[in-house]
Chain A
Amino acid sequence: MEFSCKFLAIFLAITILTVTRTLGNSNVPQKFVDRIQKSNHTNNWAVLVDASRFWFNYRHVANVLSIYRSVKRLGIPDSQIILMLADDMACNPRNSRPAQVFNNANQHLNVYGDDVEVDYRGYDVTVENFVRLLTGRTVNGTARSKKLLTDAGSNVLIYLTGHGGDGFLKFQDSEEITSQELADAIEQMWEKKRYNELFFMVDTCQAASLYEKFTSPNILAVASSLVGEDSLSHHVDPSIGVYMIDRYTYYALEFLEKVQVNSQKTMGEFLKVCPKRVCISTVGVRKDLFNRDPDKVLITDFFGGVRPTKILSDPIDIEFTPEKTFEEVNINIPLEGAKPSYNFPSQFASELFD
């Protein structure tokens, strides 16, 4: 009896297994798979950082402004873009085309645009401020516009550019952020549920070393070069006299310019924008922390903005009796016979501090 029971149980288990297997190939779970593949974020944020200053690093500013231009065009509002620019190339005295920053020598595309809101500029771009921004531990009195007010429904794009080495990115020629510090900062974001998914994008030399220490889930990372490789600039504009942009970002922007708000292009395509033939360096990708298949993730999940709105169509009558207030009347009756009296306030410091 006992034996037959066991046998029955095993038989049942096997049939259930085979049934679920066959169902797995049919259409029903496909819907389920698609639902998992669909992002459920409710807002988008972007943190764009150019960590290096000085005129010869013009290309890094062009890099970061290229991404800024794209995310803004695709719908992330300025209030949800944190832009850190270590130097002001547009107004640099050596810029022969003032108030403009171009991404190529033809000077067709002014990535500076008309409306750039820089949140951290010049010497404010420090490792400390960057980590404070990510972890949310800003110094008291920091404006709300300079804070990363993300929540569990936020998809966050982090873009870093500058001069990097194996395991670090240099800030301002004087300090560097290590890959460990970056990973720690992101871990703290995850622990406090301050992001839904994170797309980490770096364009520096040995960029892949920066995402190696990540352990938090839901991160998709791409780097312009592997460890041991240099990331190269694209070309020089002789009339401006400096390198215009880095190769990786140049091709990324070329791709992004063709993306529209309702585009169906995927992150999978975006990860392949710069093959070795044009980039010279090898683009590094890290997908193991990411739950979804990048080929099914829309590029607008990270570069576009969502904002769920609700039209108040259902009829609900609000009943509310207001608290009537009296009209404010300014009464200004001059007193008869009263002469206005004037007197001099003390003007010298010596009088004040007697």
Chain B
Amino acid sequence: MTTEDVTDRVSNKKDSDENLEDIKINQPKDTEKVKIYSTIAFIVVVVGIGFPVWWKTTEVYRVSLPNSQIMSLDHTTISIKSTVFVWGENSEVSVKDLQKKTFPYFWSLNFISIPSSVNAGSVTELVELIEKRGLLKSGDFLVIKWPQKFDNNVEFSDKRYAVVKTTASSDAIFDILNSHVLKSKQMESALENSHSITSRDTSISTKYEIVLTVLIQSPQTHKINFDPRKVAKEYITPFLSKFSTLTNATVKSQWKYQSRIDFTTKKIPDESKIKRHYSVEEHILPNIITSIESKIGSGISNHPVVNLVIYVPPCTQSPLYIYQNGAKAENSFVASSFGGILIYNPEEEQCIQQLETNEPIDVDVSLELVSKAFLRQLVELMNLREYFLVPGTNTLNLNKVEDESWQFDCLLRRNTLVYLSTTIQTLQSLVRLLDGISYIVINDDVGQSIIEANANVRKSERLLKNGHLKEAFEYAKKAYLASEHAFFDYTLLAQLYFPDEQKYAIYIPLFLPVLVPVLSSIKTLKKHFFK
């Protein structure tokens, strides 16, 4: 029974085996083909579609940039065109001589002599006549050899000309042009040392805030009669508006009471009625700034801040004088990163009275004196002295500062050069960094800024070469702002947490289970095709 069963089963098995073999014989043509095709399809999908899609979607986004163009920018190839007109006796000879002189490499100067047929009774009339002809544009200069006698060798005007003696040699004119009018040295340093110019440099930053602060340590005993708003409105704002083409400034004012300033003073007995004064040594001044800085809250502003501080010391500590090299100096000082501080001592007699009676006193602060001191500090901070102080004098007449003057041209030129060289440097360092650091993202906005900065640098250089100073400045400023925006934009770091190593670390565990069967099936494919 059982054996039969067994044989039966065996035969059954045999039957089924035969059937199987039958199927197998038919299979290679259908199923195996399907198998192979499906394997190929899998490989095509994974390698041909999946891999590129993954690569593309996880790529660090970067707009294509004109890298080679940016790297070919060079601040040493900048050339500045300026036309110098000469009028007067033997002007043709002077022009010929000047053309032979060598000016620093970045100048491409054009000397033109104005024929003596253009003539007038006075210098001003003559200049008007020449201006009417459309000459003397921004960046140009006129040297007039006037027969009248002067005390000085040269008289600079507030416009775009200077008057020299008829006897002035070409060497003398060259000297005047090179060191005073064109200020080659300053231009060269602006071009070369662009890295020393910082966002804190007042004359370079395109936007900043001026904060006038009145600091009073003991308001209970000192009532200050002073209106900082008036200083701002009548002096600071009109002064700054003269430089509005260069920078944009807003003026604010504030009072600070009860703010103790920590610094060491020395009591020095003297001959005055109060019989003593206090001194603060020059090397202590940074401490005063540090102490004041923490109290006036300049960190609130989004732009660089220039502080102008007037400090009225209490009677117990006044008069207070700054000592320099063992002698009394001016009570006003500046620090480029902070601004200026003015120490304003109350009247001596009032202080004697205050110390005796302990009654509060009225301190009348001279508006004009303080305003002038603040302006002096601003002139120092903005480095205007070099440009506007007439050589050989001590008077700086700020009323005469105007856009259409050779001094302003000079300042404009300096800023243009600084902007250009800084922009070139920024763009090139950005390109170098992009090569080295793979996770930096350049999105459309930043890419646009870079392209714009590059284009504007070129435009500005071209305008400078053709003698359009004002337009060149505008483009240089635009380029500078765009390049700074591009370099410091926060989106550059969007992929900070996802550098390349992490990309593989995260995706390999995900893809491995898919890849293993695909890869192993390549072997079967190989077997199939290369039997």
A residues with CB within 8 A of B: 42-43, 75, 77-79, 127-128, 131-132, 135-140, 143-145, 149, 151-153, 175, 181, 184, 187-188, 191-193, 305-313, 315-325
Contact = CB atoms under 8 A, between A and B. Distances in A.
Interface residues of B, number: 70
B336 interface: yes
Contacts of B230: 325
Interface in B181-208: 195-196, 198-200
Contact of B330 (A131, A151, A192, A312): A312
B333 to A, nearest CB: 5
B233 A325 contact: yes
B59 interface: no
A127 B497 contact: yes
B322 A311 contact: yes
Interface of B: 195-196, 198-200, 230, 233-235, 237-239, 282, 285-287, 289-290, 293-294, 298-302, 322, 324, 329-330, 332-338, 340, 368, 371-372, 375-377, 379-380, 385, 389, 394-399, 425-426, 429-430, 432-433, 436-437, 487-490, 492-493, 496-497, 499
Contacts of B497: 127-128, 175
A75 B433 CA distance: 34
Contacts of A308: 335-336
A145 B329 CA distance: 33
Top 8 closest A-B pairs, CB basis? Answer: A151-B198, A145-B299, A191-B429, A322-B234, A307-B286, A193-B195, A152-B195, A77-B290
B290 A307 contact: yes
A312 B233 contact: no
A324 B490 CA distance: 45
A321 B286 CA distance: 33
17 contacts: A77-B294, A79-B294, A132-B493, A136-B488, A137-B488, A138-B490, A143-B299, A151-B200, A306-B286, A309-B286, A309-B335, A311-B324, A312-B330, A316-B389, A316-B395, A320-B399, A325-B234
A187 to B, nearest CB: 7
A353 B490 CA distance: 38
Contact of B200 (A149, A188, A313): A149
Contacts of B335: 307-310
Nearest to B241: A323
A318 B286 contact: no
Contacts of A152: 195-196, 198
Which of A132, A184, A311, A323 counts the most chain B CB atoms within 10 A? Answer: A311
Contacts of B490: 132, 137-140
A181 B237 CA distance: 46
B207 to A, nearest CB: 13
Contact of B329 (A43, A132, A311): A311
A79 B429 contact: no
Nearest to B194: A193
Given A145-B299, A193-B195, A313-B324, A324 B282 contact: no
Contact of B333 (A144, A151, A311): A311
A152 B421 CA distance: 15
A318 B298 CA distance: 27
Given A151-B198, A152-B196, A320-B371, 8 more contacts: A77-B293, A310-B380, A311-B324, A312-B330, A318-B375, A320-B375, A323-B233, A325-B234
Nearest to B395: A317
A311 B283 CA distance: 11
Given A137-B488, A305-B290, A311-B333, A319 B395 contact: yes
A313 B329 contact: yes
Contact of B398 (A43, A78, A320): A320
Nearest to B294: A78
Contact of B289 (A144, A191, A307, A320): A307
A245 B146 CA distance: 80
A324 B492 contact: no
B493 A131 contact: yes
Contacts of B196: 152-153
B396 A319 contact: yes
Given A307-B286, A322-B371, A316 B234 contact: no
Contacts of B336: 42, 308
A311 B372 contact: no
Q: Chain B interface secondary structure, helix, strand, loop or mixed?
A: helix
Residue from A75, A152, A320 with most neighbouring chain B CB atoms (10 Å)? A320
Given A306-B286, A309-B335, A323 B238 contact: yes
Contacts of A75: 286-287, 290
Interface centre among B198, B425, B497 (most CB of A within 10 A): B198
A151 B337 CA distance: 11
B379 A324 contact: no
B395 A128 contact: no
A233 to B, nearest CB: 31
Contacts of B195: 152, 193
Contacts of A305: 286, 290
A188 to B, nearest CB: 6
A16 B16 CA distance: 105
Contacts of A149: 199-200
B230 to A, nearest CB: 7
A200 B219 CA distance: 45
Contacts of A325: 230, 233-234
Contact of A307 (B338, B375, B385, B397): B338
Contacts of B238: 322-323
A307 B337 contact: yes
B330 A137 contact: no
Contacts of B432: 191
A53 B341 CA distance: 42
A309 B426 contact: no
B433 A191 contact: yes
A27 B154 CA distance: 45
A312 B380 contact: yes
B252 to A, nearest CB: 15
B199 A151 contact: yes
Contacts of B239: 320
A145 B488 CA distance: 17
B300 A143 contact: yes
Given A311-B333, A317-B395, A322 B294 contact: no
A124 B396 CA distance: 50
A313 B330 contact: yes
Contacts of B437: 184, 187-188
A79 B299 CA distance: 8
Contacts of B299: 79, 143-145
Contacts of A187: 433, 436-437
A45 to B, nearest CB: 11
A283 B330 CA distance: 50
Contact of B234 (A78, A315, A317, A324): A324
Contacts of A320: 235, 239, 371-372, 375, 397-399
B384 to A, nearest CB: 11
| Max count, chain A CB within 10 A of own CB: residue among B235, B286, B395, B499 | B286
A79 B492 CA distance: 26
Nearest to A324: B234
A191 B435 CA distance: 13
B426 A144 contact: no
A165 to B, nearest CB: 16
B401 to A, nearest CB: 9
A27 B282 CA distance: 32
Contacts of A135: 492-493
Nearest to B230: A325
A144 B302 contact: yes
Contacts of B377: 312
A317 B399 CA distance: 12
A222 to B, nearest CB: 25
Contacts of A312: 330, 332-334, 340, 376-377, 380
Contacts of B399: 319-321
